[in-house]
Amino acid sequence: MALAVMCSGGDAPGMNPAIKKFVDYAQKKDQVPYLIYDGLEGLIDNKIKKATHHEVAGIVHIGGTIIRSSRSKRFFEYEYRLQAFNNLNLHDIQGVVVLGGDGSFRAMQRFSSEFDINFVGIPSTIDNDIYGTEYCLGVDTALNVIRDALDKIRDTAASFNRAFLIEVMGRDCGYLAVVSAMISGAEICIIPEVEFKRDEVEKKLTQEIKDGRNYILAIISEGAKKTSEIHEWIQDKLGLETRVSILGHIQRGGNPSVYDRMMAFDFTIQAVDYLLSHNDSNKVVVFNKGEFSFMEIEDVVSNKYELPEHLLNAINYLD
């Protein structure tokens, strides 16, 4: 059987280890591995190449994805989906492993509803916002990048009697912000899922500043869209000189952590084994309570991920 792997949407640390494991494991199972370059755009344009050990040697430690990724408007037009399907048939590819997030899985759901294809999705997004799985590939590395930045920012905040506002990624999900606030000792955390109790926080911090507090660390999720507003509030109401740091895309890069490399290994083996044992895959590998399982693509894309209750409650316990 010929199998292919592709990346779609935003890149995530751990994609390269997954790509290498895909090629190595497919060959071990006597299958023919293919690489689809440039995501959905490459699928349309037939950027599909048979893989050997040479293409994936020495990539486990590299961030991003060597086969690149894309977002594709063309893929939402039927003629281009048909073209993509014909390209798979041209190479006799009977199964596809898709490394991506919510948008990627929605695209594959539509694709598989129209054409006879088998695919298994591996949740790969630093946002950790895929329904049905506790963990997505790339999250641990992103959190370590954020942790490193926050530790350094706190050093300079304390040295200059300043407040620092750090905006982290996550789209409409506050996972990165909450966990980052917990592990950095931040005083403020603002996410889309929870109303910010400004009056309560202002009263508490005003008293602490009177008692000698000389700096504040605030973490804001980009999805909350409150960075400018909170910046003005801290300066005007709390009276601390305030700096804003938007971490941006450094959170998506960097060498994959040990955990992400291990998860890439396990996610990929699960995906390949499922493709080899089922003719009607169209599933997503999910990880919950230490175990892997599979969910129907329809269930994944038709439901919204919600932060666990213990993380929502954690905001109330920030110092």
**Catalytic annotation, pick one of 11, 38, 102, 127:** 127
Q: Are residues 211 and 261 in the same domain?
A: no
Q: Is a pLDDT exceeding 90 seen at residue 13? A: yes
What value does the mean pLDDT take over residues 149-153?
95
Average pLDDT over residues 127-134: 97
Range of the domain at 247: 142-252
Q: Based on the fold, state whether residues 269 and 231 are members of the same structural domain.
A: no
- Whole-structure pTM value: 0.95
The answer on pLDDT for 1 being more than 90 is: no
Does residue 93 lie in a domain region? yes
Q: Which of 145-149, 158-162, 307-311 has the lowest mean pLDDT?
A: 158-162
Q: Is 129 designated active site?
A: no
Please state, as a whole number, how many other Cβ atoms lie within 10 Å of the Cβ of residue 210. Answer: 8
pLDDT band at 280 (very low <50, low <70, confident <90, very high): confident
Q: Comparing C-alpha atoms, which of 67, 64, 63, 62 is closest to residue 22?
A: 67
- The alpha carbon of residue 114 and the mean position of all alpha carbons in its chain are separated, in whole angstroms, by 27
CATH number, residue 218: 3.40.50.460
- Over residues 167-188, mean pLDDT: 96
Answer whether residue 46 is part of any domain.
yes
Phi and psi at residue 104, to the nearest 5°: -65, -40
Residue 310 domain flag: no
**Identity at 13, one-letter amino acid code:** P
**Domain final residue pick, 211, 228, 252:** 252
Does 152 lie in the same domain as 91? no
Tell me, yes or no, whether 156 lies in a domain.
yes
Query: Taking phi first (over 0 means left), then psi (-120 to 50 degrees means alpha), and beta for anything else, what does residue 64 get?
Result: left
220-236 pLDDT tens trace: 999 999 999 999 999 99
* Residue in 75, 36, 76 with CA at minimum distance from that of residue 55: 36
Residues 67 and 214 in one domain: no
Beta strands in the chain (DSSP E): 2-7, 32-36, 48-50, 93-100, 119-123, 162-168, 188-190, 216-221, 241-246, 283-288, 291-296
DSSP E strands in 80-146: the ranges are 93-100, 119-123
Tell whether 48 and 77 lie within a shared domain.
Answer: yes
CA angle 166-169-174, nearest 5°?
90
Q: What's the rounded mean pLDDT across residues 256-278? A: 97
Give the C-alpha separation, 213 to 205, whole Å.
8
Average pLDDT over residues 75-86: 97
For residue 68 the two structure tokens come to: 């690149």
User: Are 216 and 159 in the same domain?
Assistant: yes
**Intra-chain end-to-end CA distance of the chain, in Å:** 56
13 and 103 co-located in one domain:
yes
Say which CATH number the domain at 79 has: 3.40.50.450
Do residues 70 and 37 touch, judged by C-beta distance below 8 A?
Answer: no
What is the mean pLDDT of the segment spanning 51-58? 95
Give percent of the chain with pLDDT exceeding 70: 100
One domain, residues 168 and 197: yes
Does residue 159 lie in a domain region?
yes
Domain co-membership, 94 together with 212:
no
> With contact defined as beta carbons under 8 Å apart, do 42 and 83 qualify?
no
Residues 11 and 111 in one domain: yes
**In the predicted model, what is the mean pLDDT of residues 120-133?**
98
Does residue 133 fall inside a structural domain? yes
Checking if the pLDDT of 319 tops 80, the result is no
Number of domains composing the chain: 2
